[in-house]
Amino acid sequence: MSDQVTIEDVARACGVSRATVSRVINGESRVRPQTIEKVNEAIRALGYHPNLHAKALSGGGTDTVALMLPGVWRSYHAILIEGVEEVASREGFHVLVRTKDYLEEAERLFDEGRVEGFIFRNMDRAEEHAKLFSRLARRGIPFLLIGNPLGDYPAIAIDNVGGGRMVARHFLEHGFRRMLYLSGPADHADSQDRYFGFRVGLEEGGLGPEAILRAEGDYTTRSGFEAAARLIPELEPEAVFAANDRMALGVLLYLRKRGLGVPGDMAVVGFDDAFFSEYLSPPLTTVRPPIHEMGTTAMKTMASILRKPGSLTGKIILPTSLVVRASCGCPFAPGEGSPLFDGSFNSE
């Protein structure tokens, strides 16, 4: 019922005019304290949500975009937010960041007029995301995705396939013939794409799928450690490619516990270039996604969508780069770690 409550309902409930209720909502001073209290009580009792779009008509809208994140513990979210806000500030937009229960709150934020569009960093809960996106699309609410493309919705993604392919090529340069791929959850699209690219790269070098051993983790350090402890003694791979740096860290911790040297006894490569990667011992070779550029590109795209309703936008795929340090067996000195490959071979 609260979705159907109007400002007129509030006015009737407390016996004042619509204009008076509007002045209370807008915080104007020309209202008696007793009336303010009465109006606020009616708003709470009826469950009325003020429409801030109507409130901001004279100013042309709220100019606010909601950035919906699945959590703030991931270090790269700070870089992503920085990229979004950099463009938003330049383009005259505000950014509202939400991390808690955003799947349930998105439509309410729009209906209340608090935001004009959404940028979603979608990672998991694919079915729930898909249902929300379907509802937003039917209602014509502007949104785009950062991460896994779902359906034909506008999306900013990274070249996970190209990243996996670069790791495969680098392993081949080292002469590895037996490799372990440590994936994320089985239904995670990023992990699947990284595996696909890894397999393609090895096949281009003459190795078949049998050269890749597979284990599943959940992107945590513990899952990397446990997968390594379960499979490395049995499978004895020459190199491990982990679908993210946290699992790669787990592998390094297990190998150290076993007294095995990296890269002497086994090479390890991760994905994400997490903040800790260059400080590990040995420093971790990893695939670097263009996180800041993902943020700036997403906000530029959203600004275009809002300013030109109906404008066509599709999927934008940004290249990754391989950051070579020491864990793969390459020579390395402190302060090094610039991208060796930038993914340009993908255009061949």
- The model's pLDDT over 74-130, given as tens digits with 9 standing for 90+, comes to 677 888 999 999 999 888 899 999 887 777 788 888 887 788 899 998 766 777 888
224-256 residue pLDDT tens: 999 999 999 999 999 999 999 999 999 999 999
**pLDDT higher for 311 or 265?**
265
Domain co-membership, 143 together with 240: no
Domain co-membership, 208 together with 335: yes
Percent residues over pLDDT 70 in the chain:
86
Domain co-membership, 342 together with 217: yes
Confidence bin at 216 (pLDDT 50/70/90): very high
Domain co-membership, 107 together with 181: no
Smallest Cα–Cα separation from 142: which of 309, 276, 291? 309
Domain co-membership, 122 together with 252: no
Specify the pLDDT at position 333.
61
Domain co-membership, 126 together with 258: no
Output the average pLDDT for the chain.
85
Burial class (CB in 10 A: 0-12, 13-18, 19+), 218: middle
Domain co-membership, 17 together with 146: no
Domain co-membership, 25 together with 168: no
Indicate whether 345 pLDDT > 60.
no
Specify the pLDDT at position 348.
35
Secondary structure string (H, E, C) spanning the chain = CHHHCCHHHHHHHHCCCHHHHHHHHCCCCCCCHHHHHHHHHHHHHHCCCCCHHHHCHHHCCCCEEEEECCCCCCCHHHHHHHHHHHHHHHHCCEEEEECCCHHHHHHHHHHCCCCCEEEEEECCCHHHHHHHHHHHHHHCCCEEEEECCCCCCCEEEECHHHHHHHHHHHHHHHCCCCEEEEECCCCCHHHHHHHHHHHHHHHHCCCCHHHEEEEECCCCHHHHHHHHHHHHHHHCCCEEEECCHHHHHHHHHHHHHHCCCCCCCCEEEEECCCCCHHHCCCCCEEEECCHHHHHHHHHHHHHHHHHCCCCCCCEEEECCEEECCCCCCCCCCCCCCCEEECCHHHHC
Those residues whose C-beta lies under 8 Å from the C-beta of residue 37, and which sit 6 or more positions away, are: none
What is the extent of the structural domain holding 304?
58-158+291-321
CB 157 within 8 A of CB 147: yes
Specify the pLDDT at position 309.
74
In this structure, what CATH number is given to the domain that contains residue 242? Answer: 3.40.50.2300
Domain co-membership, 252 together with 340: yes
Specify the pLDDT at position 58.
42
Structure-block tokens of residue 323 = 């950051």
Domain co-membership, 191 together with 271: yes
Indicate whether 211 pLDDT > 50.
yes
**pLDDT higher for 17 or 167?**
167
Q: Angle 53-59-60 (CA atoms, 0-180°, nearest 5)?
A: 60
Those residues whose C-beta lies under 8 Å from the C-beta of residue 79, and which sit 6 or more positions away, are: 291, 292, 295
Domain co-membership, 229 together with 272: yes
Percent residues over pLDDT 90 in the chain:
52
Q: Which residue has the tokens 């990296």?
A: 262
Structure-block tokens of residue 221 = 């350090």
In this structure, what CATH number is given to the domain that contains residue 38? Answer: 1.10.260.40
- List phi, psi (to 5°) of 256: -65, -40
25-73 residue pLDDT tens: 766 657 888 888 888 888 888 887 665 545 444 444 568 999 998 765 5
- List phi, psi (to 5°) of 208: -90, 180
Specify the pLDDT at position 60.
45
Domain co-membership, 204 together with 334: yes
Indicate whether 133 pLDDT > 60.
yes
248-299 residue pLDDT tens: 999 999 999 999 999 999 999 999 999 899 999 999 999 999 999 999 999 9
Count structural domains, the chain: 3
